[in-house]
Amino acid sequence: MRYYMVAGERSGDLHGSNLVKAIRKQEPQAVFKGFGGDDMQQAGVAISVHYREMAFMGFVSLAFSLFKIFRYVRFCKKDILEFKPDAIILIDYGGFNLKMALWAKANGFKVFYYIPPKVWAWYQSRAIKLKANTHRIFVILPFEKDFFRKYNCEVDYVGNPVLDAIKAFQPNNQFLDTYSVVPDRKIVALLPGSRKIELKRIVPLMVEIVVRNPQVQFAVAVVSNLPEALYKPLANKPNVIFVREATYDLLTHAHAAIVTSGTATLETGIFKIPQVVVYKTSLVEYLIAKWLVKVEFISLVNLIANKEVIRELIQNNAKTEIVNAELNRLLNDEMYVTTMKEGYSRVYQILDTGSASENTATLILKYLNKKG
């Protein structure tokens, strides 16, 4: 069968690549095309548009990018019509993929949504649109199943693909030597995000933390799809190293982490690294989000645990003094860290339901082969 996939972000590219591998295990002759990145391409997907071209984020930046978005929507529709897939698999990236789901379903394509947008967080009525414009939804957070049920929408909980990626990870035994890590210093991982706007707002704060802690070895998780200039304020600091495309290796050795909200908070938690979440945006976007968002937490760790396991320092709380005090607690307060790791263990137990990629692949093939 032929599958058209749409992933518009780095994490979607990773999870999409693992899904492709899982489908190929059961259907070796499957053909894939779509929007994605290097991971999906290496898994055998013919990439029409790389996700680095589609890195839009935030209400304001999104408004200025509408023309570009609509151009990619038109191209995607044309590409799908030419490819003639048996199924379209949409992965996260809600703003774009919800438009594609509406069009694809109306044009007779089978539409599967893997990792749907976080409609439980804000604009919850989008659940109705998801139900109307997809044939099946595969969710990766346990509480999503109950949420969608409120809208008479039956979904499949398949487990979390972050666990798949981490379980498949093979550590690099030469990591410490490769990056000349000073052996007698504690290592703090800096995970500033994978979008330009995130780095522009968080990197200056991280610089201040670095300067205040000369005895600590800070390691910045650099991603290849972002311009080097975004990391420049952290360069030439004697206690900073840059780790490129090796975040899991970094988390294997880190003693603590400062993380921008996102999938990285969950990855850091699964590696059981003590962390603090920091997040800053513009005042306008913050006020809009505060009005729209319906959940108590922003980090996946806390959302899954349904309580505060890790501290979230957002907007006005994302100040140097507050972040620095929390970092020192993570590095020195053993009881605090022990409690946090117990929370991590509970989150892992909740999520560990087998391979999300293989579960999703099995269900997609089941629904495609189902008669009637």
Q: List the pLDDT tens digit at each of the 372 positions of the chain.
A: 999 999 998 889 999 999 999 999 999 999 999 999 999 999 999 999 999 887 654 444 555 567 778 889 999 999 999 999 999 999 998 889 999 999 999 999 999 999 998 877 666 777 888 999 999 999 999 889 888 988 888 899 999 999 988 998 999 999 999 998 887 899 999 999 888 888 998 999 999 999 999 999 999 999 887 888 999 999 989 999 999 989 999 999 999 999 997 789 999 999 999 999 998 875 555 454 554 455 578 899 999 999 999 999 998 899 999 999 999 999 999 999 999 999 999 999 999 888 999 999 999 999 999 743
Which single residue is written with the structure tokens 């391409």?
41
| Structural fold of domain 2-159+353-369 | Rossmann fold (3.40.50)
User: Measured between alpha carbons, how far is 81 from 27 in angstroms, rounded to an integer?
Assistant: 23
DSSP string, 91-130: ES-HHHHHHHHHHHHHTT--EEEES---TTTS-TTHHHHH
pLDDT the model gives residue 372: 39
Please tell me the CATH superfamily of domain 175-351, with its number: Glycogen Phosphorylase B; (3.40.50.2000)
User: Measured between alpha carbons, how far is 224 from 234 in angstroms, rounded to an integer?
Assistant: 16
40 CB-near residues (< 8 Å, 6+ apart): 5, 7, 13, 16, 17, 20, 32, 34, 47
pLDDT the model gives residue 291: 45
Domains 2-159+353-369 and 175-351 share a fold: yes
pLDDT the model gives residue 361: 97
Other Cβ atoms within 10 Å of 85 Cβ, number: 21
Domain layout of the chain by residue ranges: 2-159+353-369, 175-351
pLDDT the model gives residue 237: 94
